[in-house]
Amino acid sequence: MRPFSFTKNIGGFVQAYEAIRRGYSPGVTIKEFRDRCGLINQELVLTEYLIGGEVRDGVGYVLADSIIEQTLVQPYNRMLARLYFFSVNLNMPGQRVESASAEWGEMQNTLTRERLYLDDGLSVVRFDKQFIQDSVAHYYDFQPAALRKWVTNYYFMAEQCGFVSKPDGKLETFPDTWGPLALKLFFERYMAVSPGADAESLVESALAKELHKLIGVPKNWLDTRIEGAAEAFLARETSLFAGDTETEPERKSAEKGLAPPPQGEEARRRESRSNQLIRRGDNKRFLRQLYGGECQISGVKLAGRDGTPIFDCAHIRPLGIPHRGPDDVGNMLSLSPTMHRLFDRRCIQIDPKSLKIRVLHGNMVPHLPKLLVRGNHVVDRANLEYFLSRILRS
């Protein structure tokens, strides 16, 4: 663990923002990034705490994740500061050539989860320099001067996020403005070290990492969104992870402990994105309860070591442009990962009327004669027809 150095005298997170824009280009190595970012004697803070990495042929490269993506496409703002702060606390830098560099964020991660988070939120009282100093001293052996520097820098990082103190003693972190992006960043960092991970692995790890504490929200916020977010991430539905900043009326309402004011257009879009993530999770829970992980095409039922069903929620008519399929259970199937990939690659035909299954292109894969449909799962035949005529035969 090392002290931070994004202190007031060099401009805080905005300095990190400008350094990323100077240092990053596609395919840049971490060494090249350090040389180009313009932070004299501070570049390690940026590359070890904030940005992610990946290793190819023994060389460390900057991971083109949401930190990089969001920094390059917009002016510096509170949403970016919050995403940076989340990354600092996450302790998941992706791949590193030197294994020691993979745990530099352990201290702030432990501090946030075990000391600053209290009763469903980040505590205003505990976001105090003396409390933070006493907490860090409890966990780690710092020299007094280094400890004071660490606390000063960490506190200043938190201040830049623009969180609001509420009458109930909690910090309002405005999670729907940046929380989905934080989940996406977590998925990207996880996939950097565990490529090929499925939705269940992403969800399990997110819950184990207690991401709700790093975002500063009740666990229910994460529980209701994480499954839908994992599915959307793997389906590359990036629009559901868009971020923004709250309005001044929203901030004033939070300070007074009042409900948010009547919504503007951006707030309505934000709510719509959040509802879609929640609905996707609800849809997956519906299919899990109904089929228990059984594949509707093969009849195979897969489960992990703890008995958790392993299955994918496959959309018949794809979401988004150009297909614009609906995000509801009538447009979804419970499929094994293998059958999902075959279906998406146009190797499986389902007759819209009879529901008979054919496996195409010489693939010798055991399957049911007809699509398995249980209970109140009404598969929309129009979507099957769309898949057959517009996708499979195109």
DSSP state of 390: I
Q: How many CA atoms, within 13 angstroms, populate the side-chain half-sphere of residue 353?
A: 0
As a whole number of Å, the end-to-end CA separation of the chain is 56
Q: Provide the mean pLDDT of the chain.
A: 90
Residue 50 three-state SS: helix
Q: Cβ distance 166 to 172 under 8 Å?
A: yes
pLDDT tens column, 335-361: 999 999 999 999 999 999 999 999 999
Q: What angle do CA 103, 106, 109 make, to 5 degrees?
A: 140
pLDDT at 376: 93
Question: What is the average per-residue pLDDT within 144-168?
Answer: 92
pLDDT tens column, 376-386: 999 999 999 99
Is the per-residue pLDDT at 3 higher than 50? Answer: no
DSSP state of 41: T
pLDDT at 99: 61
Phi, psi dihedral angles at 61 (to 5 degrees): -120, 155
- Tokens representing 364? 């010798």
Confidence bin at 158 (pLDDT 50/70/90): very high
Q: Which residues of 69-99 are buried (b: 16+ CB within 10 A; e: fewer)?
A: ebbeeeebbbbbbbbbbbbbbbbbbbbbeee
DSSP state of 44: H
Is the per-residue pLDDT at 4 higher than 80? Answer: no
Question: What is the average per-residue pLDDT within 229-245?
Answer: 90
Total residue length of the chain: 394
List beta partners, residue 334: 313
Measured distance CA(316)–CA(287) in Å, rounded: 14
Confidence bin at 96 (pLDDT 50/70/90): confident
Phi, psi dihedral angles at 307 (to 5 degrees): 90, 0
pLDDT at 304: 83
Instruction: Report the range of poorest mean pLDDT among 143-152, 163-172, 219-228, 383-392.
Output: 143-152
Measured distance CA(167)–CA(154) in Å, rounded: 24
Q: Cβ distance 41 to 32 under 8 Å?
A: no
In the block, tokens 């505990």 appear at 126
Is the per-residue pLDDT at 286 higher than 80? Answer: yes
